[in-house]
Amino acid sequence: MKDVRLLESAFAPGEAIERFAQGHPDAGGVVSFAGQVRAADGCEALELSHYAPLTLPGMDALADEALARWPLDGVMVVHRSGLMLPGETIVLVAAAARHRRDAFHAADFLMDHLKSDAWFWKREKRAGQWHWVEPREADYSDLARWK
Amino acid sequence: MKDVRLLESAFAPGEAIERFAQGHPDAGGVVSFAGQVRAADGCEALELSHYAPLTLPGMDALADEALARWPLDGVMVVHRSGLMLPGETIVLVAAAARHRRDAFHAADFLMDHLKSDAWFWKREKRAGQWHWVEPREADYSDLARWK
Amino acid sequence: MAVTLVFLGRLADLAGAPVREADAPLDWAGLLAVLGGELAEAVSGAKVRLAVNGALLADKTALAAGDGDEVALLPPVSGG
Amino acid sequence: MAVTLVFLGRLADLAGAPVREADAPLDWAGLLAVLGGELAEAVSGAKVRLAVNGALLADKTALAAGDGDEVALLPPVSGG
C-alpha cells in the first residue's frame, strides 16, 4: 500500500517499479517518475543532505496525503541521500490505481512536493566546485497548483 | 530517441523502463505508465488483436506526435497483442525529458491515444465467456483534451 | 477474381471468421450485399471504418476495391 | 549546559561545520548573538526555518531552547 524509503546507496528504479506493480495486481496501471543525475551540463556529482528528524516523517506524511486525495491502490516514494554520480537515480515515485488519471495526478503531486517541499538540500559539483541548488521558480508554481 | 514495439509475448516493464532511462542520460526524468491485466473483477484472460497494416505505423506516428509536441529526449511505446493473463503488462509508455512536466504530459498523451485511438481490439474472458471491451466514456473525454 | 475482406474485433465474431473472399470489383453497395443482414447493419454503423490495403477511407461509401485488394472492416478500437 | 545547533544546506557551509554547541537557555536574540555577522543575517531571512527537537517553529523568533535541546537551522529545501 505505502512504501516510503530514504536510501543511502544506489538502487535500480526498474526493479523497484516492477516489484511495486506486481504488489498491486488489482490496479489497472502504475505511473512512475524516476529522476536521475543528468550527464549533461557539466555536473560531476550531486550531493543530497537531509535532516533525519524531519525528512522521512515528511515523506511518509506526503505519501499519506496522496493516498487520501486519490483512490489509489498504493504509492511508493524512494529518495536517495548522500553522494550521487551522473546516471544514478535520485528519486523514484510510483502510484498504482484502478484508473490511470488518478495515478498520473498522484505521481505528479508527489514529485512537485519532493522538489520544493521536502526536507532535502541539494548541491552540485561543477568544475571541481560545489554549488547549492535551490528550486526553480517553475518548481514553486508547480507546487502551488495543489493548494 | 524513439522505441516503438508491438510484442506477441510477455515482457518485464521494469527492465524496459530501466534500459530506456539509461539510454537517456541527459534527461532529468523519466515518466512511465504500465497497464496490466487486473486480477480483480473476475477477468480470467484478455486478448488483444490488431491489424498489422495500421497498428504499428499508427503507434509510430503517435510517438512522433509526442516528440513534436514536447521537448523530449525520447519516448517509448510498447504494446502487447495476443492472449494475456492477470498480472501481465498490456502496455508500457515512457517519456524522458529535461523537465518533468513535459514527460508527464507526453506519457499522459500517449496513453489517452492508445486507449481509444490506436488500432487494437480488446476482449476479456469472464466465467469462461469472451466479451469485447470498448473504451469508456472517460477514455473519449480524456482523448478530447488533446484536440 | 477476388477481394479479401478482413474482419476485426467483434465483426470477426459476427462474420464467423476473420477473413472472407468477395468477388471483384467491390463497391459499398456490393459489400453490404455480400455481408447481408446483421453484419451489413453493423458495418453501416457510424463508428465502423474501412481501410483498403492499409489506407483508411475518409468516406467508406466511396469503397472501390479491385482484384487482389484487401478491405479491412474496423469497429471501434480499444487498446491499453 | 548546552543546546546543539544543526546547520543544514548552505548554512552548514557558512557555519563552517554542520553542528555547533551554544549555551542554554537560548532564545532568538541569543541565537543571533551566538551566530553573529553573515550567519545571523542568513538565518534571519524569511525562507529560513527553525525546528526544535524535530518540531518546526511556526514563528522562529519565539525560540526557547533549553539544555539538551537540538535546534535545526533549515534553509530553503531542494529535493528530487
pLDDT confidence band for B94 (50 / 70 / 90): very high
Helix, strand, coil shares, percent, chain A, to 5: 35, 35, 25
Residue D80 lies in a domain: no
D79 in a domain, yes or no? no
Render B85-124 in DSSP notation, one character per residue: -TT-EEEEEEEEESSHHHHHHHHHHHHHHHHHSSSEEEEE
Q: Is A33 in contact with B142 (Cβ distance < 8 A)? A: no
**Do D78 and A119 lie within an 8 Å CB cutoff?**
no
Homologous superfamily in CATH for domain A2-144: Molybdopterin biosynthesis MoaE subunit (3.90.1170.40)
Cell of B105: 504530459
- Residue pLDDT, tens place only, C15-58: 999 999 999 999 999 999 999 999 999 999 999 999 999 999 99
How is residue C17 written as a grid cell? Answer: 471468421
* Single-letter amino acid code for the residue at A103: A
The domain tally of chain D equals 1
pLDDT at D68 over 90: yes
- Do you find a cis peptide bond into C25, omega within 30 degrees of 0? yes
Write the pLDDT tens digit of every residue in D2-57.
999 999 999 999 999 999 999 999 999 999 999 999 999 999 999 999 999 999 99
Q: Is pLDDT of A9 > 90?
A: yes
For B32-63, how does the pLDDT look when each residue is reduced to its tens digit (9 = 90+)? 999 999 988 889 999 999 999 999 999 999 99
pLDDT category, C80, cuts 50, 70, 90? confident
What is the pLDDT, as a whole number, of residue B113?
A: 96
Q: Is residue D1 over pLDDT 80? A: no
> Structural domain of residue D22, as residue ranges?
3-74
Minimal CA separation from A123 to chain D, in Å: 8
Q: In the predicted model, is pLDDT for residue A134 greater than 90?
A: no
Which residues, 6 or more positions from B90, have their beta carbon under 8 angstroms from its beta carbon? B35, B36, B37, B46, B48, B79, B80, B84, C80
What average pLDDT score do residues A77-89 get? 97
The Cα B93–Cα A83 span in angstroms is 30
Distances in Å between the alpha carbon of B22 and those of A12, B18, B19, B71? 11, 6, 5, 18
Q: What integer pLDDT is reported at residue A41 of this predicted model?
A: 79
Reduce the DSSP state of residue A125 to 3 states and report it: strand
SS3 of residue A97 by DSSP: strand
Among the partner residues B18, B28, B32, nearest to A38 by beta-carbon distance = B28
pLDDT in tens, B16-33: 999 999 999 999 999 999
Q: What is the pLDDT of residue B39?
A: 85
Q: B11 pLDDT exceeds 80? A: yes
pLDDT > 90? residue A112: yes
In a domain, C79, yes or no: no
B residues 57-116 lying closer than 8 A (beta carbon) to C: 57, 79, 90-91, 111, 114-116
Contact B26 A39 (CB under 8 A): yes
Question: For residues C24, C25, C30 and C32, what is the CA-based torsion angle, rounded to 10 degrees?
Answer: 60
pLDDT band at B12 (very low <50, low <70, confident <90, very high): very high
Asked if residue D66 is part of any domain, the answer here is: yes
Give the closest-approach CA distance of B52 to chain A in angstroms.
Answer: 26
Ramachandran category for residue A26: left, alpha or beta (phi over 0 → left; psi -120 to 50 → alpha): alpha
Asked if pLDDT for residue A40 goes beyond 90, the answer is no
Please determine, for residue C75, whether its predicted confidence score (pLDDT) is greater than 90: yes
Cell readout for A108 is 505528479
Looking at residue D67, its pLDDT comes to: 97
CATH at D13: 3.10.20.30
> Min CA distance, D26 vs chain A (Å)?
20
Task: Place D65 in a pLDDT band, splitting at 50, 70 and 90.
Answer: very high
The residue-averaged pLDDT of D67-71 equals 98
The residue ranges of every structural domain in chain B are 2-144
